[in-house]
Structure 1
Amino acid sequence: MQKLIVVVPIFLLLAACGQSEDDKARNKAEMTEIRSQRVAREFVTGVLKDPESAEFRNQKGFCGEVNSKNSFGGYAGFKRFIAATKEMVVFAGDDRMTSSDFEQAWSQFCH
């Protein structure tokens, strides 16, 4: 029994050290993606009329789609967004960027 108590922690330690460079790189990329999505959600909810109602989908980094309630209390439907900075959140179809400029930015940064 004492051997088991000594062997199990050593085995667990060796298993943790056995992570390949590919696994480490993949984990780092996944963590970076999670952080980017979290920051983008903060940027987007900061400009919505009802941030508590925000629903996100198809998010990749600082791009995605959001649906939230409008000033009448109804959901407006999912809209694509690009959240470059806290001050620069652009939605498809808004007046901050032409439709063609939005599509070009979406193609360049969101795919």
Structure 2
Amino acid sequence: MLKLIGMLPFFLLLAACGQSEAEKAKSAAAMTEIRSQRMAREFVTGVLKDPGSAEFRDQRGFCGQVNSKNSFGGYVGFKRFIAASTDMVVFEKDGRLSSSEFEQAWSKLCH
């Protein structure tokens, strides 16, 4: 079993050699998307009251929707977010941006 695990990197490298440039680019884009989503989740959970309760959906890069528990232990419902950094996480209707400003940012950054 350990032999098989040790040979796994070799097989992955061998499989990568057979990819076309288009497949490599598609794979790289998919990895970039995964990294962006992970970072955004970290940024968002860093500002939530109960980070362990966070549920994400419809996420694309640094944008998406999150539902989490409030101080009373109840879920607040899904809200859209834009997470640019640990210091810049904006939620829909959180008062930091007007509705029209949030919509403009959402349409520019999240579509």
TM-score range, shorter chain: 0.7 to 0.9
Task: Give the 4+ runs in structure 1 shifted more than 3 A.
Answer: none
Q: In the alignment, which residue of structure 2 is the partner of 1:57?
A: 57
Question: Could you say what the CA RMSD is over the residues aligned between the two structures, in angstroms?
Answer: 1.5
Q: Percent identity?
A: 76
1:74, distance to aligned residue in structure 2 (A): 0.4
Give deviations 1:45-99, integer Å, cap 9, x for gaps: 0000000000000000000000000011000000000001110100000111111
Structure 1 portions without partners, runs of 5+: 1-8
TM-score scaled by length of structure 1: 0.86
Q: Between Structure 1 and Structure 2, how many residues are aligned?
A: 100
User: Normalization by structure 2: what TM-score?
Assistant: 0.86
SS of 1:84's equivalent in the other structure is strand
In structure 2, stretches of 5+ residues that fail to align are 1-9
The residue aligned with 1:32 is 32
Q: Aligned residue for 1:5?
A: none
Q: Which amino acid aligns with 1:93?
A: K
Whose radius of gyration is greater, 1 or 2? 1
Superposed, 1:76-87 pairs within 5 Å as 76-87=76-87
1:18 Cα deviation from its structure 2 partner: 1.6
